[in-house]
Chain A
Amino acid sequence: MVSTFLPALGRVAVCGGTHGNELSGVYLVREMERKRKQMGDSVWPVPVTTVIANPRAVKECRRYIETDMNRCFSNDILSSPITDNTPYDLRRAHELNALLGPKESADATDLICDLHNTTSNMGLTLILNTRDCMALHICKYLQTKITRVPVRVVMMDVPISAAYSLESVSKHGFTIEVGPQPHGVIRADIYEAMKEGVDVTMDWIKKFNSGTVFEGGDVEVFTPHKSIDYPRDPETQELTAAIHPQLQDRDFGLLKKGDPMFLSFSGETVKYEEEETFHPFFINECAYYEKGIAFHLARKTLISIPTVQVQKD
């Protein structure tokens, strides 16, 4: 098969603590920094910048200080001027764009791997903004190599200028989201899964840069279509139902017409009434209550990727 040639990866960043209470990434980044001190930079195949993305939020073990930093990286928001009223998290977003970007420039980091946790039962989920060929190849590789947890790919399918998350600052970035884990807790099994995600990514980079040909094929992805909110009291906006026990923890399963969605406090089952079957994910994510999201609904599709190998100079 004819290969698509892509430039070698030169600069990689691993970010933890974009949300300060998502602890796997925080401790993994610290452990990587400790390893670097102990063994030198050659411990990784390329230079790696390790970043605690939102240090104040990490210190206070909170998702964010004033505003969700992982919604601040769209081109619109990054190009707005900073004033005295600019929230801390937004100032930090500008700093990170300068450190790891600038976004969409030739100087931007090749790959940002942004580490997150979720209270949802999502195993290891890779979240991509665009159909970037290199990022999709890494996802395909992770899916073959990692067996301890299910590995799935969420494809946001947005133009890079509109992408608002930290890794969109880089050329081929993606988020590694591992759950379920309560915020403010570190579980060894979740930490190990995330560590394997990062290690296998480094493994791919090493192989790719040294000339390995990676065969193309189809990658199964989940593309978000819409989100569903909890039933709420019209006056107080308080929840009147919880995720139904038959939907709870069933991320990436099927939600068909007639399936239970919510169980109200008065004992009624609220069912999904639409014709089209979707795959729910981010079911009962703590941070999404304030965003009015009980779960997202996605369509499953296949994306074809070409065979790739590194461009020799």
Chain B
Amino acid sequence: MPRAQTQPLNYHYVTQHSKQEEPVVVRKLRSRETRVRAAIAMNSRNNASCLPGIKRVAIFGGTHGNEMSGITLVNMWMKNAAETERNGLVTKTFISNPKAVEKCVRYIDTDLNRAFTPANISGPDTEGLPYEVQRAREINQMFGPKGSSDAYDVIFDLHNTTSNMGSTLILESSKDLFTLQMVHYIKKAMAPHTCSVLLNEHPQLKYSTTRSVAKHPVGVEVGPQPQGVLRSNVFESMRMIIKHALDFIELFNSGVEFPTCTVEVFRVRESMDYPRDTNGNITAMVHPHLQDCDWEPLNRGDPMFLTFDGRTIPFEGASTVFPTFINEAAYYEKMQAFMTTCREILAVNAVRKA
């Protein structure tokens, strides 16, 4: 149910002056679009940022064992790698949580996609570690170590959601120029099919993902799809995203320069739980007016939850937010009905291979 947008956009200005300097972060501007475009034009007179070539890419499916698109794609590519081969690039396809995939459950002991904390991956060797913690260490050895120069360049981690998020790319840094340019390329290539970009850079809400062992982690989240179900349209969208991503990397490695651009992102703000009783049971459902309205503005006073006996609970936030992950099955136990985000335009400097 689309609603009129009432909030102006926030613009963040991201630039890298030369290949040696650290990125200069960020003055928050409340400016009209023409001023931003002028700033971009000025910036494009600077040199493109020169970045190292991409040598090793991994594609993970089955980080959650019941998210079927990624599992099916990775199994298919493991049998026939033709689609994922690109010149000058090593692409490894990998099932991250095989035990969970075998049982078609999200995880065995603990969520693998929250398991890559420093404590978990570099703790002492102990018996009786949860399966996913052991697995996190193995993955860190194979594709990391996280934070080191030996780590894989890019990991695409394939996920599904029961939320109506369409095709979503999930980023962990607003300063990663390579990934931002790749995302821009994918969005353009997928058009008119929409790709939304979720940026989770929130100091408390950011979590230690499987893909975070790589230098450039990219989450690919496509929905809506029930857990344990394979929908053809969702499968084909995810397949197309990976195709475009690998095309970009091949072009980048061949020396193509990607000009300055802007990328619209939704930056994670906060997690909203269901109303619950003293026993922890939920006492209301996502309201029909909010259900399936991922990425649409939610204003103060808009319906948010509907109790089981028919009472509407409105959103009381001070400003308009853009909700996402609305009614994701796996988040009931994580106490999340949806996530709020704010919309931003990131200006991204031109890049080419060093």
A-to-B contact residues, CB < 8 Å = 27-28, 30-31, 34-35, 61, 119, 180-189, 191-192, 238-239, 242-245, 248, 263, 265, 284, 286-287, 289
Contact = CB atoms under 8 A, between A and B. Distances in A.
B233 A191 contact: no
A183 B285 contact: no
15 contacts: A180-B226, A182-B224, A183-B227, A184-B329, A185-B329, A188-B285, A188-B286, A189-B288, A191-B285, A191-B308, A244-B232, A245-B233, A265-B235, A286-B226, A286-B229
A286 B227 contact: yes
Nearest to A236: B75
Interface in B281-332: 281-282, 285-288, 291, 306, 308-309, 327, 329-330, 332
A295 to B, nearest CB: 13
Nearest to A238: B75
Contacts of A180: 226
A185 B229 contact: no
Nearest to B327: A185
A269 to B, nearest CB: 11
Interface in B200-240: 224-233, 235
B129 interface: no
Given A184-B329, A286-B227, 9 more contacts: A30-B308, A35-B309, A183-B226, A185-B162, A185-B329, A186-B282, A187-B327, A238-B75, A286-B226
A181 B291 CA distance: 12
A28 B310 CA distance: 12
B44 interface: no
B231 A242 contact: yes
A182 B329 contact: yes
Given A188-B285, A189-B288, A239 B329 contact: no
Contacts of B72: 239, 265
A180 B292 CA distance: 13
Contacts of B332: 61, 184
Contacts of A265: 72, 76, 235
A61 B230 CA distance: 20
Given A187-B291, A242-B235, A248-B233, A289 B306 contact: no
Contacts of A263: 232
Nearest to B69: A242
A34 B332 CA distance: 22
B53 to A, nearest CB: 31
A242 B232 CA distance: 5
Contacts of B282: 186
B227 A242 contact: no
User: Residue among A34, A186, A189, A263 with the most chain B CB within 10 A?
Assistant: A186
A119 B234 CA distance: 15
B285 to A, nearest CB: 4
B79 to A, nearest CB: 9
